[in-house]
Amino acid sequence: MDTAPVLSTIAVLGGTGKEGKGLAYRWAKAGYRILIGSRNPEKARAAALEVLGLLGDKVFVEGTTNTRAAELAEIVVLAVPYAAHRETLESVSEALQGKLLVDVTVPLVPPKVTKVQMPPAGSAAQEAHAILGQNVQVTSAFQNISHELLFHPEPIECDVLVTGTSKEARQETLKLVVAAGLTGWDAGPIENSVVIEGLTSVLININRESGSTNAGIKITGTHSGSTHYIAL
Amino acid sequence: MDTAPVLSTIAVLGGTGKEGKGLAYRWAKAGYRILIGSRNPEKARAAALEVLGLLGDKVFVEGTTNTRAAELAEIVVLAVPYAAHRETLESVSEALQGKLLVDVTVPLVPPKVTKVQMPPAGSAAQEAHAILGQNVQVTSAFQNISHELLFHPEPIECDVLVTGTSKEARQETLKLVVAAGLTGWDAGPIENSVVIEGLTSVLININRESGSTNAGIKITGTHSGSTHYIAL
């Protein structure tokens, strides 16, 4: 009898981008079934093959449209550029009802990407919640992780702050953080998303000042030492 | 001939509070002349005596009114509770013209202190700049340091993010960070203050979740290792 736990199916919308593909890679490796979504299903299938090429055929990764990925998954991760944020959410809103959306989007406004410039809703995550309605739980996470580091198996020295519309949604998202090999922290209600999303501009600023490319943050000073793992 | 550098005089308004007194202690120790300001000059003098009691009479620390402290100092640090932010700034606005204001204020709105709730200006620091006008440089710093740690000589494992109205003002403030024995980072324009001020609510949340009292952050992933000291 097979007693291995059945892990959820995760749709990564915009999973052909660097951030999305990196997350898909890490979650597939952890045993989740992954649907990479894109407006262009051919590109989605190519990204799925790229992940499979690294992990072999014991993992489940498929490419399809954003809509179909959102329909088939229990958890939906939004990793599109901010310019496609609203349009993508509107196109999958029906499929998302009753599910959890993890918003990875950073609302950068080029060319001033070192300056925090939030949408009128207060943050991309709050904007997502306004578009999707009260029947969708929304969390915000992973904005501060360098996408160059995600698509490799090495440990990443950057913690993940998670905000969200309910404690349950944040706990569910913290499981995904741990599954991706990272340390996560419950950073409070969805209104706190401005801090996480805005921190990306601060880190870009620090990268420019210090000549680095992978500035991140670690939470310090807690009783459990410098890291705090949430149990799966 | 005395060749020791003459350090500036720093006024710490609201210097009778824990955060302000801790900063006064660290800067006095580093050789700055400190004026502790308060609405109540008697309380200010008592706080000055408390700092002198720890550091001895080789340092310069005096207590006086907020207004007189602001008039006599080159750099003015605002460390009042947010409820007194506007009133204090209006009372010292004239004395501050042409100077640097370092705003340490966190705009917490009790009882929901774990939820980011910024004033209409976007942050306390932007509000300060709007009150004081273009002839005052404003920076935002030190909001994430636990005040329990400041008033002791031990190293603090928390970095200081500095935003401000000009690069020069941020550099000047980063010197004060180093003088206080901390590691500082240029976190960009004053519009980014929402991240630093809001991070305090996130850290309070993490403290509650993890049962600690001194959660902080460190910047990671830069070429210079885990810390990046700005030269004085």
Angstrom distance (rounded) from CA B41 to CA B36: 9
Angstrom distance (rounded) from CA B70 to CA B2: 28
Query: What is residue A209's predicted lDDT score, i.e. its pLDDT?
Result: 92
Query: What is residue A226's predicted lDDT score, i.e. its pLDDT?
Result: 33
Spans of chain B, pLDDT less than 50: 1-3, 225-232
With an 8 Å Cβ cutoff, are A194 and B189 in contact?
Answer: no
pLDDT bin (cut points 50, 70, 90) of residue A5 is: low
| A231 has pLDDT over 80 | no
A103 Cβ neighbours under 8 A, 6+ residues apart: A78, A124, A125, A128, A138, A139, A140, A141, A193
pTM of the shown model: 0.92
The model's pLDDT over A140-167, given as tens digits with 9 standing for 90+, comes to 999 999 888 898 888 999 999 999 999 9
Contact between residue B220 and residue A217 where contact means Cβ atoms under 8 Å apart: yes
CA angle B199, A197, A9 (to 5 degrees): 115
Contact between residue A67 and residue A47 where contact means Cβ atoms under 8 Å apart: no
Interface contacts A/B by beta carbons within 8 Å? 143
With an 8 Å Cβ cutoff, are B195 and A199 in contact?
Answer: yes
Query: What is residue A190's predicted lDDT score, i.e. its pLDDT?
Result: 98
Q: Say if strands A216-220 and B216-220 run parallel, antiparallel, or are unpaired.
A: antiparallel
Q: Say if strands B137-140 and B100-103 run parallel, antiparallel, or are unpaired.
A: parallel
B166 Cβ neighbours under 8 A, 6+ residues apart: B137
Contact between residue B165 and residue A169 where contact means Cβ atoms under 8 Å apart: no
pLDDT bin (cut points 50, 70, 90) of residue A223 is: low
Helix, strand or coil, per DSSP, at residue A107: coil
Query: What is residue A75's predicted lDDT score, i.e. its pLDDT?
Result: 97
A-side interface with B, Cβ within 8 Å? 114-118, 146, 157-158, 161, 185-189, 191-192, 194-196, 198-199, 201-203, 205-207, 209-212, 214-224, 228
Angstrom distance (rounded) from CA A11 to CA B53: 62
Query: What is residue B224's predicted lDDT score, i.e. its pLDDT?
Result: 54
Query: What is residue B7's predicted lDDT score, i.e. its pLDDT?
Result: 79
Query: What is residue A74's predicted lDDT score, i.e. its pLDDT?
Result: 96
Query: What is residue B231's predicted lDDT score, i.e. its pLDDT?
Result: 39
ipTM of the complex: 0.90
Instruction: Give the containing element (helix H, strand E) for B25.
Output: helix B18-29
| A180 has pLDDT over 80 | yes
The model's pLDDT over B62-84, given as tens digits with 9 standing for 90+, comes to 999 999 999 999 999 999 999 99
What percent of chain B is predicted at pLDDT more than 90? 85
What percent of chain A is predicted at pLDDT more than 90? 85
| A224 has pLDDT over 80 | no
Angstrom distance (rounded) from CA A194 to CA A117: 9
Cβ atoms within 10 Å of B70's Cβ, excluding its own: 25
Contact between residue B76 and residue B101 where contact means Cβ atoms under 8 Å apart: yes
Query: What is residue A1's predicted lDDT score, i.e. its pLDDT?
Result: 43
Contact between residue B37 and residue B11 where contact means Cβ atoms under 8 Å apart: yes
With an 8 Å Cβ cutoff, are A217 and B222 in contact?
Answer: no
Query: What is residue A147's predicted lDDT score, i.e. its pLDDT?
Result: 84
Q: What is the mean pLDDT of chain A?
A: 92
Angstrom distance (rounded) from CA B49 to CA B51: 5
Angstrom distance (rounded) from CA A183 to CA B100: 38
Nearest-by-Cβ selection for B116 from A191, A220, A221: A191
Burial group, residue B178, by CB count within 10 angstroms (0-12, 13-18, 19+): middle
Contact between residue A26 and residue A181 where contact means Cβ atoms under 8 Å apart: yes
Best to test chain A binding among B118, B123, B197, B209 (most A CBs inside 10 Å): B209
DSSP state of A84: G
- Residue A190 Cα, gap to closest chain B Cα (Å): 9
Tell me the chain A residues in contact with residue B174 when contact means C-beta distances shorter than 8 Å: none
Helix, strand or coil, per DSSP, at residue B61: strand
